[in-house]
Every structure is written in structure tokens, then in C-alpha cells.
Amino acid sequence: MRLALMIVDMQRYYLEEESDYCQYFNSLYSGSLVYIRERCEKTVIPNIQRLKLQFSKKGFPVIYLRLCSKDNNREDLHRFFRKSWMEGVEHGYDSVYPMENDPMSNIIDELEPSTKDIVINKTTFSPFSFTLIEEKLSSLGINTIVFTGLATSQCVETTARDASDRGYTVVHIHDAQADYDQNTHEASLFSSRGVCGGIIHSTEDLVGLIKDMRG
């Protein structure tokens, strides 16, 4: 078994209150981002840090995904993201979904990638569309992907389903993922278990399982 840790969209604009993304959606739905931000701070970030440390010790690859755009008009984004960006612009928020060179697109400081880590930019829910992630995984001999990050029911689940369709074993770490509320998070994990054969572990369980594995 050759594992990779995938850290999905743990970016500044999702998690920092001053970002256009957070300010815009809070203006629409007051308090809607409180749960996901608090869960990330208290649970998800510490657990991803722990997993990353263990993977690095074993020599297993760590892959970061970033959702961002290369196009000033966001033409490359999935239509849902582009629609939100356009509506944000109309309300005075120019970077609801930022450009890839915008500091707000960066991974949060607590999970900053090392020089050995792989960072893949995507423009839709899953990197299996429009990126070279399959070639990268193949070159590394990866057959199992361990999923962390956000949002559980959106980019995480879509990427996991795409990975399963391509023959990868999918492992979800339930306490290293976040969604906008607990019920949606749990429902997504439940559906993933059935549809893509997802294996669901806690951080503690997975760390114990891989301690004796070779990188």
C-alpha cells in the first residue's frame, strides 16, 4: 500500500474573517461560517498537523489542493464559483474567489507546505478535472489517498468520488475534515462510505495504523 495525504482547500480566504469570501457570505448569511471556522481551529488543523508529521516521517507524499483562478474574469472557474464571484463583485467584494497569486489563495500559515510537498491548483470541485494530478499520483506509485480538509460534502467528497472511479482506495479522516454544519459533514461521510467504498478513520486510528508501514 502506497499512501498520499491529501489536504483539500485549507486556504486563507475560507478561514480568515477579513477575506472577501468570508465577508461576502457573512453579509448574506450572518454567522454561516462560524461553525466551519471553529471546527477547523479546534479540531481539523491540529489533526492535519499531526497527520502531516506522521506522513512526512514515513516518507509518504503530502498533496495540497488550492481552489483559485488564473483568469481575471474567473472564466476558468466552475460556473457555481464564478457566479458567486460575479455576485460578490456586484456587492463590492472583488475577490470572493481569488486569483492564484493572491495571498488569500495561500494555504493557511498553520499548514504551510514544505518544499517537499506537492501543491496543485484547481478551478473546480475536483483536481481530476483539468489538472495533471493523475500523472503525479502515478509517478509516485500512489494507490491510496487519505482525505482531509474542506468542505466535506463539496470538494472533498467530489475528489474522493473521482479518485474512487479511477481505482484509488479512498480513506476519509472524519476528524480532519470540516463542513458548514455537523449534519452535512456526517451525511457526506455516510454517502461516501456507500458510493466509493470509503474507509473512515479518526486521526488517532490512522496514525496507529501507519506507524509500522514503510514509506
pLDDT in tens, 31-82: 999 999 999 999 999 999 999 999 999 999 999 999 999 999 999 999 999 9
59 in any annotated domain: yes
Asked whether residue 25 is domain-assigned, the answer is: no
Q: What is the pLDDT of residue 1?
A: 81
- Which domain, by its residues, includes 202? 3-12+42-71+105-210
Please check whether residue 181 lies inside any domain of the structure: yes
Residue 145 lies in a domain: yes
Say whether 152 sits in a helix, a strand or coil.
Answer: helix
Residues 6+ apart with CB under 8 A from 3: 55, 60, 142, 144, 145, 146, 171, 210, 213
What pLDDT is attached to residue 213? 81
194 has pLDDT over 90 = no
Residue 92 included in any domain: no
Task: Take residue 141 and report the three cell numbers written for it.
Answer: 506509485
Convert the pLDDT of each residue in 90-120 to its tens digit.
999 999 999 999 999 999 999 999 999 999 9
Please name the residues in contact with 107: beta carbons below 8 A apart, sequence gap of 6 or more: 7, 10, 11, 12, 64, 66, 113, 119
CB 186 within 8 A of CB 154: no
Q: Are 12 and 106 in contact (CB under 8 A)?
A: yes
Q: Is residue 114 assigned to a domain? A: yes
Predicted local confidence at residue 94, as pLDDT: 97
- Residue 8 covered by a domain: yes
Q: Is residue 22 part of a domain?
A: no
DSSP 8-state class, residue 113: P
The distance of Cα 97 from the centroid of its chain, to the nearest Å, equals 15
Helix spans in 59-181 (H): 79-90, 133-140, 157-165
Total number of domains constituting the chain: 1
Residue 183 has which C-alpha cell? 449534519
Q: What is the CATH number of the domain that holds 189?
A: 3.40.50.850
Contact 6, 63 (CB under 8 A): yes
Q: What is the pLDDT of residue 215?
A: 63
